[in-house]
Chain A
Amino acid sequence: MSIIKKVVLFSFVIALLTAMSLFSVNPTEAIALKGALVHTVAGPPIENATILIEDGKIVAIGQNVSIPTGAKIIDATGKSIIPGLIDNHSHMGAYVPNDLNEMPQPIGPENRAIDALHMSTPDWDEAVKGGVTTIVTGPGSGERMGGQSVTIKTFGKDLETRILKESGELKMAINGINLSHIPTIHSNFLKAREYLEKWKKYESGDKKGPPPPRDLAMEALAKALKGEEVVRVHIMWANDIMSFLKLKDEFGFELQFIHAPEAWKVADEIAKRNVPVICMPIELAINVPESLLRGIVTLHKAGVKLAMHSDHPVSPQKWFRINASMAIRYGLPKEEALKAVTINPAEMAKVDDRVGSIAKGKDADLIVLDGPWYEATTPVDLVFVDGVIAYDRQQDKKLSEEDL
């Protein structure tokens, strides 16, 4: 077959698949997934379960679910189903056109990743193929305060319906050991506290006189001080972790650590303050002595809530699931590892009312796997986002056979 013919056929297949996928976007149709082992995360796993999806939501889950007539029945016998994976820290959409780091502005909590979000990059499709259905994507770690992240689904009809949270999660970063990093952040929080006091005084008074001038940066930090936003810190060393915990003690904001390979050295201090850690086992396996991987288990045993992140493009979004597998390899219980890529990140990003587990009323974001979910050899068969089939391996396989 000539190359031109191949190209023509290939484009035809792609066009056909596009048409088919467009055709399949019909969330009003009821779908019943039958016979699989379902890890609901909300409770114990259910064998031979049926999941009923209607209008993009999960309406029933259990062994005895009556399927309405006219529902599309998908036989998933012998397969396992888990909630759509949630990556708690990614740079998807901002990385490709290089919109990550606003370097000349080291203190930019008012920067918003939504303004830099790039929706036409193919990374989004790759993420769906790997079963990642929700991501928190945000600014890079080039500044002390990089800005605010956006919580978004990787697939959907349009941007409006895909966005779960337009802005939040104030991203901060402590890079290496630098004398000025902690004091810079400290003094800005002091400024924000003054700003907040000024506004509180104005609003609790009878609002006489002019209101204090608005400051977008201080406004963002004040939200953290009021407990409306979470502070997320890209952090490496144990002494920096301690310094930041003390900042939390002083200002009382809600704190989450990202990366934190040395967190296990101060696990008790972290646990005492209820600070969750968003870790990245793949990175640990590549960059640091293997023994540190066991630190994840140390954190878990100390009672620290765990989530995982791909830091895309540091590790590919598509292979996010391997993070959980690596943690299991080094001793994290399987159910804890699953929580760390589903419900825990949902809770940390405060979107657990919609995603993170398979339960009645939640968004129908789930993935069907052909085998145990944590095995690296297990392929993702089907990905549902909002009750719509976002990825089907059968079609993907056909494509590759034609291609070969």
Chain B
Amino acid sequence: MSSPKQHSNRLRPLGIAVVAIICGTILILSLPFLQAQDKPVIAIKGGTVLTMAGETIEGGTVVMWEGKIVAVGKQVSIPEGAQIIDATGKYVMPGIIDAMTYYGVRPFALNDRANPITPENKVILAYYPFGRMMHGEKGIVKDKEILSGGVTTVYIAPGDQQVIGGQGAVVKTYGADYEAFTLREPAAIDMCIGDPPKQEMTYIGARPPLTRMGIATLLRKTLLGAQQFDKKIKDYEEKTDEEKEKMPPPPRNLGMEAVIKLLDKDIPARIESDFVDDIRTAIRICDEFDVDLIVDSGLGAYKVKDILAEKNIPVVLGTPTHPFVQGGEVSMSPDLYREMNDYNAAELHKAGVKLALGSFSFAFGGFGYATSGRWLLIEAAYLTGFDVSDEDALKMITINAAQILGVDNRVGSLEKGKDADVIILDGYPLNIKTWVDQVFIDGESVYRKEGGPK
């Protein structure tokens, strides 16, 4: 009777040989790639490609290499040796963009409560990409949070409890090094006009603002201060070298330097305001100082749709099903219910206002929830029930969001030369039963649904 041990002993030399041959073959086959590139060529074949750049391609192919999209189309030659992903019967579209979140920032760190005006604060410095939601870790992650919703790019903002919270940033939802995953920083300066930054009149000596008047005055003073600071610097720079030696340069001021970027129109002001009256105030102040404006949340924006369209002011709407609509303002002021209108997005769109959707959701480590951000596709689908076309709804979470955030040169659509942020869905994107199968960021597969493509 031969023991199993003996049996295995007899087979061992053969096994080693087989393993050696397989390894050798793989090594030889992959040599050209190892020499030429870090990332392989990936071709997603056969799916319905929603490029968001105009046309939809039935049975199209998307080729990605070195983190970029190198070809999109029906007749695309796939390089030899490319990794081919069969997406027949599936939908391929650009990664979803959430135009307004508080992701990755400790909720307590969102606001500098002692100070109403902190334009010098940078949200990117408080951003923590290693939590459960944010996937700083390399490799395929198993948690099904933001990536499982196909969200690949987000705007992160400081909180809304201050009049000027600080500088926001546009980041990708994957990666550990903020220099690598940041698309634009600063992308805007975040402000709020409305109830959130107001202090309760609990004790004498509370810091301003207590009222909307105070908010407006603080904004005006800050912008005026920046104008004067800018002038001081320019006056100094115009001096001759001799004069410069005699007198010191004006002292630096990080906050004012940031606000000057607004005045120079390098970045826009993003003002969160829900009541139409507050939106008007935002427009009034930005007009006074000639500053670009993006209205955030904008529950009552449809009441001034023509003004917004005429002045080319985009609106980042809160998602329709958010439990507090957003920012908690509705629960704070019953009057805000009068402002709400399910057709807000449709009315604004018809008037010609550029729109994006923002989840305004929090997510940090194990805390908080990213639900509304995760289901951004379903939020967009909800809008299509209220006079928004499917295409427009999808644009609000892809190319339009990218344009509003000023990152449309890199993300937002499937076009040659753009970042390879691609998602594969197992059905029509706006169907309730559709799931995201696979997510690529910079050409790297960062998420796969269990049971999805291997």
Contact with B along A159-173 (1 / 0, CB 8 A): 100000000000000
Nearest A residue to B337, CB-CB: A120
24 example contacts (A-B, Cβ-Cβ < 8 A) are as follows A94-B211, A98-B198, A100-B211, A101-B210, A101-B211, A102-B210, A102-B214, A104-B199, A104-B208, A108-B217, A110-B217, A110-B220, A111-B211, A111-B216, A112-B216, A112-B217, A116-B211, A120-B300, A120-B335, A139-B213, A147-B217, A216-B217, A216-B220, A216-B224
Contact with B along A110-131 (1 / 0, CB 8 A): 1111111111110000000000
Report whether B208 and A112 are in contact in the complex, using a CB–CB cutoff of 8 Å.
no
Q: Which residues of A contact B209 (CB under 8 A)?
A: 102, 104
Within the complex, the shortest CB–CB distance from A105 to chain B, in Å, comes to 5
- Tier of interface size on chain B: 35 or more
Contact with B along A90-109 (1 / 0, CB 8 A): 00001011111111110010
Near B by CB (< 8 A), chain A positions 50-97 give 94, 96-97
**In the complex, A214 has a CB within 8 A of chain B:** yes
Known: A115-B284, A159-B280, A210-B231. Is A103-B220 also a contact (CB below 8 A)? no
Q: Which residues of A contact B333 (CB under 8 A)?
A: 97
Q: Which residues of A contact B300 (CB under 8 A)?
A: 120
**In the complex, B215 has a CB within 8 A of chain A:** yes
Q: Which residues of A contact B212 (CB under 8 A)?
A: 94, 97, 99, 115-116
Nearest B residue to A113, CB-CB: B213
Report whether A105 and B214 are in contact in the complex, using a CB–CB cutoff of 8 Å.
yes
A-B contacts counted at CB < 8 A amount to: 99
- State A138–B204 Cα separation when bound (angstroms): 22
> B335: which of A113, A118, A139, A216 is its contact (CB, 8 Å)?
A118
> B214: which of A111, A210, A213, A216 is its contact (CB, 8 Å)?
A111
Within the complex, the shortest CB–CB distance from B136 to chain A, in Å, comes to 41
Known: A118-B275, A118-B335, A120-B338. Is A111-B213 also a contact (CB below 8 A)? yes
**In the complex, B265 has a CB within 8 A of chain A:** no
Report whether A98 and B211 are in contact in the complex, using a CB–CB cutoff of 8 Å.
yes
Report whether B214 and A108 are in contact in the complex, using a CB–CB cutoff of 8 Å.
yes
Interface centre among B205, B214, B224, B333 (most CB of A within 10 A): B214
**In the complex, B109 has a CB within 8 A of chain A:** no
Report whether B210 and A119 are in contact in the complex, using a CB–CB cutoff of 8 Å.
no
**In the complex, B407 has a CB within 8 A of chain A:** no
Interface centre among B207, B210, B275 (most CB of A within 10 A): B210
- State A96–B224 Cα separation when bound (angstroms): 30
- State A210–B212 Cα separation when bound (angstroms): 33
Q: Which residues of B contact A108 (CB under 8 A)?
A: 213-214, 217
- State A364–B42 Cα separation when bound (angstroms): 73
Q: Which residues of B contact A111 (CB under 8 A)?
A: 211, 213-214, 216-217
**In the complex, B185 has a CB within 8 A of chain A:** no
- State A108–B211 Cα separation when bound (angstroms): 12
**In the complex, B206 has a CB within 8 A of chain A:** yes
Near B by CB (< 8 A), chain A positions 323-370 give none
- State A221–B217 Cα separation when bound (angstroms): 15
Q: Which residues of A contact B235 (CB under 8 A)?
A: 210
Known: A108-B217, A110-B220, A216-B224. Is A117-B277 also a contact (CB below 8 A)? yes
Nearest B residue to A215, CB-CB: B224
Nearest A residue to B195, CB-CB: A97
**In the complex, B58 has a CB within 8 A of chain A:** no
Nearest A residue to B339, CB-CB: A120
> How many of chain A's residues have a CB under 8 angstroms from any CB in B?
31
**In the complex, B39 has a CB within 8 A of chain A:** no
Within the complex, the shortest CB–CB distance from B306 to chain A, in Å, comes to 10
Nearest A residue to B211, CB-CB: A99
Interface centre among A110, A116, A121 (most CB of B within 10 A): A116
Q: Which residues of A contact B214 (CB under 8 A)?
A: 102, 104-105, 108, 111
Q: Which residues of B contact A159 (CB under 8 A)?
A: 280
Q: Which residues of B contact A115 (CB under 8 A)?
A: 212-213, 215-217, 281, 284-285
Main SS of chain B's interface residues?
Answer: helix
**In the complex, B30 has a CB within 8 A of chain A:** no
Q: Which residues of A contact B207 (CB under 8 A)?
A: 104
Nearest B residue to A109, CB-CB: B217
Report whether B231 and A103 are in contact in the complex, using a CB–CB cutoff of 8 Å.
no
Q: Which residues of B contact A105 (CB under 8 A)?
A: 208, 214, 217
Nearest A residue to B334, CB-CB: A96
11 new A-B pairs (CB below 8 Å) besides A110-B221, A115-B217? A97-B333, A98-B198, A102-B213, A104-B199, A110-B217, A111-B213, A111-B216, A111-B217, A115-B285, A120-B277, A214-B228
- State A99–B285 Cα separation when bound (angstroms): 18
Nearest A residue to B199, CB-CB: A104
**In the complex, B309 has a CB within 8 A of chain A:** no
**In the complex, B27 has a CB within 8 A of chain A:** no
Q: Which residues of B contact A147 (CB under 8 A)?
A: 213, 217
Q: Which residues of A contact B198 (CB under 8 A)?
A: 98-99
Q: Which residues of A contact B78 (CB under 8 A)?
A: none
Report whether A116 and B213 are in contact in the complex, using a CB–CB cutoff of 8 Å.
yes
> A121: which of B228, B276, B281, B335 is its contact (CB, 8 Å)?
B335
Interchain residue pairs A-B with the least CB separation, the first 7: A115-B216, A116-B212, A102-B214, A111-B213, A99-B211, A99-B212, A104-B208
Within the complex, the shortest CB–CB distance from A64 to chain B, in Å, comes to 44
Report whether B206 and A119 are in contact in the complex, using a CB–CB cutoff of 8 Å.
no
- State A113–B338 Cα separation when bound (angstroms): 21
Known: A96-B335, A120-B338. Is A104-B216 also a contact (CB below 8 A)? no
> B206: which of A103, A113, A118, A216 is its contact (CB, 8 Å)?
A103
Report whether B228 and A102 are in contact in the complex, using a CB–CB cutoff of 8 Å.
no
Contact with A along B281-295 (1 / 0, CB 8 A): 100110000000000
Report whether A103 and B216 are in contact in the complex, using a CB–CB cutoff of 8 Å.
no
- State A116–B194 Cα separation when bound (angstroms): 9
Q: Which residues of A contact B217 (CB under 8 A)?
A: 102, 105, 108, 110-112, 115, 147, 216
Report whether B220 and A120 are in contact in the complex, using a CB–CB cutoff of 8 Å.
no
**In the complex, B201 has a CB within 8 A of chain A:** yes
- State A18–B324 Cα separation when bound (angstroms): 29
Q: Which residues of B contact A121 (CB under 8 A)?
A: 335
Interface centre among B211, B214, B276 (most CB of A within 10 A): B211
Q: Which residues of B contact A103 (CB under 8 A)?
A: 201, 204, 206, 210
Report whether B335 and A102 are in contact in the complex, using a CB–CB cutoff of 8 Å.
no
Q: Which residues of A contact B338 (CB under 8 A)?
A: 120
- State A105–B338 Cα separation when bound (angstroms): 31
Within the complex, the shortest CB–CB distance from A324 to chain B, in Å, comes to 30
Nearest A residue to B216, CB-CB: A115
Q: Which residues of B contact A114 (CB under 8 A)?
A: 281, 284
- State A98–B204 Cα separation when bound (angstroms): 16
Nearest A residue to B227, CB-CB: A214
Contact with A along B217-260 (1 / 0, CB 8 A): 10011001000100100010000000000000000000000000
Interface centre among A97, A100, A112 (most CB of B within 10 A): A97
Within the complex, the shortest CB–CB distance from B216 to chain A, in Å, comes to 3
- State A112–B213 Cα separation when bound (angstroms): 6
Within the complex, the shortest CB–CB distance from B301 to chain A, in Å, comes to 14
Nearest A residue to B219, CB-CB: A115
Within the complex, the shortest CB–CB distance from A143 to chain B, in Å, comes to 10
- State A113–B201 Cα separation when bound (angstroms): 18
